[in-house]
Amino acid sequence: MVDAEQVRSRLRDSGQHGDVLGRLLVELSWRYRVATEFELATERAREAIDLGKQTGDAKLEADGYNALGGVNWRRGDFSLVWEHWLRALRLRESVDDQAGMAASYSNLGLLLDSEGDFPGALEYYHRALSIDREIGSPPLEIAATINNIGSVHEQLGEPEVALRHHEESLAIRLELGDRRAIGTSYNNLGASLVDMGRWEEARKMLHQALELREAIEDLPGQASTLGELAKLERLVGRVNVARDFAARGLTLYQKIEEPWGQADVSNQWGEIELAAGKPSEALSHFDEAKLYAEQIGAPLLLADQWDGRARAWEALSQWEDAVIALREHATLREKITGDSARRRIELLEIRHETQRKELEVGRLTAANQQAEGALRQVRFERRTMIGGLAALVVFLLALAVAYRWQHKVTAELSAAHHNLQELSAQKDRFLQIVAHDLRSPLGNIRWLSGLLREPQTTGEELVKTAGMIDQVAEQLIDTTDKLLDVSRIEAGSVELTLTKFDLSDLVSQTAARWTRIAEGKGQQLRWLSGGLSAVVHNDAGLVQQVLDNLISNAIKFTPINGEVSIGLEGANGSWCVRVTDSGPGIPDAAREHLFSQFSRVGNVPTAGEDSHGLGLAIASGLAEVLGGKLGLAKSTSNLKGACFEFCLPVETDRN
């Protein structure tokens, strides 16, 4: 690269041939990235971006951002990858660079693929393929996109569909004679055949890939194929052979300093030891996978090692550790889903913004034409009415009335438009949150049901897995119940069943039910009754629902080994229950919307519990229905976390 750098210096010093210099900078960034010289790769990419801005060359600026995203991809910083590739797409769209747009769509598909959003990845790969075929892109680019589509179908558990795409890609690559690309196709065909259980065909294809990649000294490719061979031999029960392939693959990944590959092979090795009945050895490999995955922030690989770790702890009968690992796995999967959904929404917003601007231009053009017509009409009327002052006065009065009427109509239309926008925003927020809160449990059920179908699952494991499915189903029922509670409160259809009862006894019973859950987190739940008798005439079931929401919320956000206290006192004709915790408290910025639907204050549940953002909204709504009130209060104990006060009127009778 020394000669290329000398050419770069001469071109930069001459100040001429900016397009040649730009292409060279992008090429140098790619070369340095392959050589893992990331600092130099970043510098050359930023030089290309700056040159594109100076010369007004949007395509060069986009190529620079595309190269910069590639550098951060190798570093594992996916948030920066998304930012740079999205900016490249916007620049390419602004100049209708079809080939560049296809490349950006393919890159974004790759990112969504790596984060587990397989439907989103397919959508953008197909967009890229459609453009490439329409504009006649080079066959190797088309073959690469078809190959990527096949890989996504593998992840979706559709090996037959994946196989067809890999065969189509291989046919193109064989015709062109690109050995590196052919090796990739052989590898992917072998992976699909493994998933289909066609072991001998898979072994033959993977060894072809390995021989070809060794011939051209493609070290990353060799390491990838060795990982696939390790998986194949593990599945057919040849554990020692699988270990050998995994060791060779890991050595190569360490040689080229590729943390992603090291994490992937370490996860694979952990699975091999689990298959060999050695869960303790498996845990050590999952530990290595965790270190490598955290080094580059790879969420899918982190999720895989937590999944393997859970099964290893189960094999060792260490159930508490297994549950913690499963929770970490579920939390990561939920985050991956949320990040992927957010990024797809950003892409949709770009499409929407482009269409909105086009419509706005059309609307302004039509309005301008209409205004010119109205101006011509006014001039004509003025000429016809200029003969008499009285007629002119009448015209001006009519014009004033028309203006006031138009101003009134415009104001009404503006208000209606604003209300529609608010309703649309509320609907979008509702749909996003419901999709977010239902998708994770449904995904877990699908995963657990997959475990039930695996032939190696024993009777005891079937019982455990069924229990886990039941727990996830309870989460879904809880989410649905909360949404129904919100609907009933908003519709005013909550019916009261009035009885006289001792509020102190009800609080005591409720606290006793939650004590076991608090003790499970090492927390102390204290009920400071004081021996009061607090008789009220109200709906005991709804009062208990409010108390359950407040106590469960306090336990959820209180640290492990923390404390929650419940007190009761009478004041100003009311009985007031106070629930205080030792958690982080409520930030000032969140207090205004604390009791709104789907409001989240930014605090994270301390043991991975679900948080829908509905509990306080439901509790506040029920408190109003009961004739009481719910709000924040100042703590009167030594606990410095959040303090909620729920007050009910002291009434002898209610109608």
Q: Is 210 in the same domain as 261?
A: no
> What's the average model confidence in pLDDT over 325-329?
86
**Where is pLDDT greater, at 351 or 79?**
79
> What's the average model confidence in pLDDT over 134-150?
90
Helix axes 459-491, 615-625, angle to 10 degrees: 40
The whole-number pLDDT of residue 9 equals 80
Q: Is residue 479 part of a domain?
A: yes
Backbone angles phi, psi at 420, to 5 degrees: -65, -40
The whole-number pLDDT of residue 411 equals 72
The whole-number pLDDT of residue 230 equals 92
pLDDT value at 46 more than 80:
yes
> What's the average model confidence in pLDDT over 150-162?
88
Q: Is 483 in the same domain as 537?
A: no
Q: Is residue 300 part of a domain?
A: no
The whole-number pLDDT of residue 113 equals 78
Instruction: Give me the percent of the chain exceeding a pLDDT of 90.
Output: 26
Q: Is residue 615 part of a domain?
A: yes
Q: Is residue 644 part of a domain?
A: yes
The whole-number pLDDT of residue 400 equals 64
> What's the average model confidence in pLDDT over 6-29?
80
Q: String of b and e for 474-484 (b: at least 16 CB within 10 Å)?
A: ebbeebeebbe
Last residue of a domain, one of 34, 60, 95: 95
The beta strand positions in 115-222, using DSSP E, are none
pLDDT value at 96 more than 70:
yes
Q: Is residue 354 part of a domain?
A: no
Name residues whose C-beta falls within 8 Å of residue 150's C-beta, 6 or more positions apart in sequence.
161, 162, 163, 164, 165, 166, 169, 188, 192
Cα 628 from Cα 572, distance rounded (Å): 12
Q: What is the mean pLDDT of the chain?
A: 80
pLDDT value at 352 more than 50:
no
The residue type found at 377 is: Q
Q: Is 534 in the same domain as 393?
A: no
**Where does the pLDDT of residue 655 fall: very low under 50, low under 70, confident under 90, or very high at 90 and above?**
very low
Q: Is residue 264 part of a domain?
A: yes
Q: Is residue 50 part of a domain?
A: yes
The answer to whether 133 touches 361, Cβ cutoff 8 Å, is: no
**Where is pLDDT greater, at 39 or 654?**
39
Q: Is 56 in the same domain as 159?
A: no
| Residue-number span of the structural domain to which 197 is assigned | 97-217
Q: Is residue 24 part of a domain?
A: yes
**Where does the pLDDT of residue 531 fall: very low under 50, low under 70, confident under 90, or very high at 90 and above?**
confident
Q: Is 111 in the same domain as 182?
A: yes
Query: Strand 629-632's sheet: what is its strand order?
Result: 524-528, 563-571, 574-581, 643-649, 629-632
Q: CA distances (Å), 329 to each of 159, 321, 643, in order? A: 25, 12, 32
Domain count, the chain: 5
pLDDT value at 632 more than 60:
yes
Q: CA distances (Å), 333 to each of 303, 339, 469, 551, in order? A: 7, 10, 16, 28
The whole-number pLDDT of residue 107 equals 87
**Where is pLDDT greater, at 551 or 531?**
551
> What's the average model confidence in pLDDT over 303-309?
88
pLDDT tens digits along 421-479: 665 555 555 555 555 555 555 655 665 566 666 666 666 666 666 666 665 565 556 56
For residue 15, the SS3 value is coil
Q: Is 175 in the same domain as 249?
A: no
pLDDT value at 323 more than 50:
yes
Last residue of a domain, one of 230, 249, 275: 275
Q: Is 66 in the same domain as 200?
A: no
**Where does the pLDDT of residue 189 fall: very low under 50, low under 70, confident under 90, or very high at 90 and above?**
very high
Q: Which of the given ranges, 111-120, 332-341, 405-414, 538-547, has the highest pLDDT on average? A: 538-547
pLDDT value at 47 more than 50:
yes
The whole-number pLDDT of residue 373 equals 64
Q: CA distances (Å), 369 to each of 360, 376, 536, in order? A: 14, 11, 71
Q: Is 504 in the same domain as 634?
A: yes
Q: What is the CATH number of the domain that holds 424?
A: 1.10.287
**Tokens, residue 620:** 């506040």
pLDDT value at 45 more than 60:
yes
**Where does the pLDDT of residue 402 fall: very low under 50, low under 70, confident under 90, or very high at 90 and above?**
low
Q: Is 481 in the same domain as 561?
A: no
The answer to whether 503 touches 577, Cβ cutoff 8 Å, is: yes
The whole-number pLDDT of residue 173 equals 92
pLDDT value at 204 more than 90:
yes
Range of lowest pLDDT (51-60, 209-218, 284-293, 425-434):
425-434
Range of lowest pLDDT (258-267, 295-304, 470-479):
470-479
The whole-number pLDDT of residue 114 equals 73
Q: Give the strand pairing for 563-571 and 574-581.
A: antiparallel
Listed in sequence order, the DSSP H helices in 492-625 are: 503-520, 540-557, 615-625
Question: Residue 43 class from Cβ within 10 Å (0-12 exposed, 13-18 middle, 19+ buried)?
Answer: middle
Q: Give the strand pairing for 563-571 and 524-528.
A: parallel
**Tokens, residue 75:** 């570093």
Q: What is the CATH number of the domain that holds 550?
A: 3.30.565.10
Q: Is 42 in the same domain as 146?
A: no
Chain-centre distance of CA 37, in angstroms?
31
Range of lowest pLDDT (429-433, 488-492, 587-591):
429-433
The beta strand positions in 100-204, using DSSP E, are none
Report the candidate in 588, 586, 582 with the shortest Cα–Cα distance to residue 640. 582
Cα 44 from Cα 8, distance rounded (Å): 10
**Where is pLDDT greater, at 315 or 423?**
315
Last residue of a domain, one of 44, 75, 95: 95
Cα 190 from Cα 204, distance rounded (Å): 8
For residue 603, the SS3 value is coil
Backbone angles phi, psi at 321, to 5 degrees: -65, -35
Q: What is the CATH number of the domain that holds 169?
A: 1.25.40.10
Which residue has 């001792």 as its token pair? Answer: 502
**Could you give the angle at the alpha carbon of 646 between the alpha carbons of 617 and 648, nearest 5°?**
115
Q: Classify residue 590 by its DSSP letter.
A: G
pTM of this prediction? 0.47
Q: Is 526 in the same domain as 623?
A: yes
The whole-number pLDDT of residue 354 equals 46
Q: Is 91 in the same domain as 143?
A: no
The answer to whether 584 touches 562, Cβ cutoff 8 Å, is: no
pLDDT value at 648 more than 90:
yes
Range of lowest pLDDT (323-332, 437-446, 491-500, 623-632):
437-446
> What's the average model confidence in pLDDT over 257-284?
89
